[in-house]
Amino acid sequence: MARILMKGNEAIAEAAIRAGAEGYFCYPITPQSEVAEYLAKRMPEVGGVFLQGESEVAVGNMLFGAASTGKRVFTTSSSPGISLMQEAISYIAGAHLPVVFVNIMRAGPGLGGILPAQSDYFQSVKGGGHGDYRLLVLAPSTVQEAVDLMMLAFDLADKYLNPVMVIGDGLIGQMMEAVEFPDSDPKQNRVNLEERKWAATGAKGRDPVIIKSLFLDPLELEENSLLMDKKYEQMKKEEVRYELYKVSAKNELLVVSYGTVARICQTVIDELESEGVSVGLFRPITLFPFPEKEIYREAKKKNIKTVLTVEMSTGQMVEDVERAIIGAKPVKFFGRTGGIVPNPEEIQGKVLELIGSMKKRSTSSRKRK
Amino acid sequence: MAMTQSNTAIFSRPESMQSTVTHYCPGCTHGVIHRLVAEAIDEIGARDRTVGVAPVGCSVLAYNYFNCDFLEAAHGRAPAFATGFKRLRPDMIVFTYQGDGDLASIGMGEIVHAANRGEKFTTIFVNNAVYGMTGGQMAPTTLPGQVTSTCPVGRNANEVGYPIRMAELLSTLVTPGYIERVAVHTPKHIINARKAIRRAFQYQAENRCYSMIEVLSTCPTNWGKTPEEAVKWLDKEMAAYYPIKCFKDSVREGNK
């Protein structure tokens, strides 16, 4: 299929269709409402279900029910809406069901604002709902990658029978970029219910299927939690994804950044390179499982003096970077929040400050605000 | 007299029920209601294409009694859960089985909107005027003056309002097709309840409408009464506040 220009939110919607999603439940919220608007037209074309629920609490639980059928289902929302879905996410994880959630993050806390942020890292990666569960978390940095990761998200949700969260900052949803979709009939990727022995398809010629998260016997509940933990350990072995940009033995500093912020960091790295300063970028694509070993491997290289984490938050992923590096190198942080996208100059200023190269650089625009 | 024929069973366990020991308290009518639901599923011949959705409450363990696929929703969310399921599998029979704390308190939003969308599933709403599983706290359905562990001097309507009549409330909506309140504390009421539940499942099998059957139920343990006193209290007090009748049947009225 030819490359087309598409808005991130619409591309995410179309990618889910191509991935064989048969059900989409939603509640309007900025900055991702275009997904719902797109799918209100598109879902019926492919014979799927589109339903606008009465609240994100209801939508999360609609997905819980819909996933019990065995079919591929998903929702998209933004930060305050995702908070309301935490109840269902916890139940869905506890019941071992595959659902894809997309959070086009806006700035919080509370009602916050409608501009881009990455302040839901903790919520996505560390929990959000109650209980011993994890989400597999994917973070695209381009519209094309959002498409690719949406397709992957459904496969991973099925592989692990666990909810998958795709988190994009507001920019991913709102910007337009060229994208290419795989040539596939949306119906091709739909699941074959006969293969889904865990799904509630009716007790015909078999014992009833029970889908539940209640285990009153503590030994049974522990067993369920250990079974979940086993999946998370497998994810850590098999699903770590990341991208390196201009990482080399010459790097004096390693930047760790994800989502669209990583693209701004690339601009900074290109600029610094032209000025003879060598900086590399480590971009985690999976936030859980977090590429701990890989970040450690890059950070401990001889020339690297400092690791700088850049986020649109007051510092969330930086805690995982510190954990990965376990004291091998100093870990510093630069962030803007409240819906402010950091500009290359301020990031560059921070980098130069850290590697002690502020000397002779007079342009005021390079100074950190 | 020919005695060669073996005895004919005229009463047996419905196919949609399992043989198990009850965990419900003596004098509780959940067991009767479970059976009526199972009979209805048998009668429409849908056991192998039915899913039940359990609430949070005493009947959270309903899947131990029914011989069909069973799913356990979050507290109050069964109508949203059932919506998601039924929308993706309109060919299956779906019912929610919910108590009054679950449906009329924490799940008020979900029940109203599922009913208003006319979701094609059936709700069995078991109203015993109290939170049973957590030990008898005040519910939105607790009667004025009724003593519970969280209204120890009786429900004060001036402070917490009057109990919510769910059947009446949902009947004000245009979309839901069939809403009836029944009881199961006497044989006569059981026969009527059986008919109503059967009708609700029949309407679903015919893809007609959303149905809710509210069933007045006893909770001797949390009411602090003997089973016999509980039956009398239901008959005298509960039935006076919650009229036992059909509120809406659009199919029989010819609107569906």
Which chain B residues are within 8 Å of A204, Cβ to Cβ? 48-49
CATH number for position B208: 3.40.50.970
CATH of A242-366, one of 3.30.460.10, 1.10.3720.10, 3.30.1960.10, 3.40.50.920: 3.40.50.920
**B60 — contact with chain A (CB < 8 Å)?**
yes
Is residue B113 in some structural domain? Answer: yes
Q: Is residue B24 part of a domain?
A: no
Nearest to A58 among B53, B60, B113 (CB): B113
Q: Which residue of A has its CA nearest to B56?
A: A214
Whether A242-366 and A4-238 are alike in CATH topology: the answer is yes
Q: Do A202 and B109 touch (CB under 8 A)?
A: no
B87 touches chain A (CB under 8 A): yes
Is this prediction's ipTM beyond 0.90? yes
Q: Three-state SS for B236?
A: helix
Cross-chain residue pair A59–B80, CB shorter than 8 Å: yes
Q: Which residues of A touch B109 (CB under 8 A)?
A: 54-55, 57-58
Q: What angle do CA B207, B77, A77 make, to 5 degrees?
A: 100
CA of B112 vs chain A CAs: smallest distance (Å): 10
Q: Are A56 and A30 in contact (CB under 8 A)?
A: no
- In angstroms, rounded to a whole number, what is the distance separating the alpha carbons of residues B172 and A11? 42
Inform me whether the C-beta atom of residue A86 falls under 8 Å from chain B C-beta atoms: no
- Rounded Cα–Cα distance for residues A325 and A295 (Å): 7
Number of domains making up chain B: 1
Q: List the domain range (segments joined by +) for residue B109.
A: 30-136+165-249
Contact predicate B157/B144, CB 8 Å: yes
Per-residue pLDDT tens digits of chain A, which is 369 residues long: 689 999 999 999 999 999 999 999 999 999 999 999 999 999 999 999 999 999 999 999 999 999 999 999 999 999 999 999 999 999 999 999 999 999 999 999 999 999 999 999 999 999 899 999 999 999 999 999 999 999 999 999 999 999 999 999 999 999 999 999 988 788 889 999 999 999 999 999 999 999 999 999 999 999 999 999 999 999 999 999 999 999 999 999 999 999 999 999 999 999 999 999 999 999 999 999 999 999 999 999 999 999 999 999 999 999 999 999 999 999 999 999 999 999 999 999 999 999 885 334 434 444 444
Return the CATH number of A4-238, one of 3.40.50.970, 3.30.70.60, 3.20.20.70, 3.40.50.2300.
3.40.50.970
Question: Best mutation site among B16, B68, B87, B111 for testing chain A: the one with the most A CBs within 10 Å?
Answer: B87
Dihedral (CA of A300, A302, A304, A305) sign: positive
Q: Are A132 and A90 in contact (CB under 8 A)?
A: no
Two tokens at A90? 């916890």
* Token pair recorded at residue A7: 């808005």
Q: Where are chain A's structural domains?
A: 4-238, 242-366
Say if the Cβ atoms of A202 and B50 lie within 8 Å: yes
Decide: helix, strand or coil at residue B212: strand
Query: Any residues with CB less than 8 A from the CB of A227 and at least 6 apart, and which?
Result: A96
Residue B44 in contact with partner chain A when CB distance is under 8 A: no
CB-based contact A174:A30 (threshold 8 Å)? no
Instruction: Please spell the DSSP secondary structure of A88-109, one letter per residue.
Output: HHHHHHHTT---EEEEEEB--S
